Amino acid sequence: MAKRTQEQPAEETAAPEAQNAPVAEATHCILCEDGVMKRATIKSYNQTVGVVLFIVGLVFLFLGPLGLLGVIMVFIGLYFLAAKRDVWLCDKCDAIIERR
Ligand SMILES: [Zn+2]
């Protein structure tokens, strides 16, 4: 009476393809076709704007009534400076494609 039960799915081998997804390390640019898209991390926002917001916010902190506004500007400035996004960046035409 050696009845084999195969009701339990082998979960360990259930998703072997998830990590073997064909994600090319570098792919050709779809725009200029000559360039190679490379992994890059770029800033999401203009860094100058972030610095200005941060500095102006700091100044406002010492102006009494505008203190609350200064706090908000400092945080927004820091967010502008810190926010990044992963993209594919073409080395020829500087085309940028969002990467997930
Ligand atoms: Zn390109």
Segments making up each domain of the chain, as ranges: 26-43+84-100, 45-82
User: What are the distances in angstroms from CA 43 to CA 21, 51, 82, 95, 96?
Assistant: 27, 13, 8, 15, 12
37: CA distance to ligand 1 center in Å?
Answer: 7
Residues with CB under 5 A from ligand 1 (ion): 29, 31-32, 35, 90, 92-93, 95
> 8 in helix, strand or coil?
coil
C-alpha 98/C-alpha 23 separation (Å) is 14
- As to burial, measured by CB atoms within 10 angstroms (0-12 exposed, 13-18 middle, 19+ buried), residue 77 is buried
Tell me the one-letter amino acid at 23. V
pTM exceeds 0.75, yes or no: no
23: CA distance to ligand 1 center in Å?
Answer: 19
pLDDT tens-place values along the chain, 100 residues long: 555 555 555 555 544 444 444 455 568 898 898 899 999 999 999 999 999 999 999 999 998 888 899 999 999 999 999 999 999 999 999 999 898 7
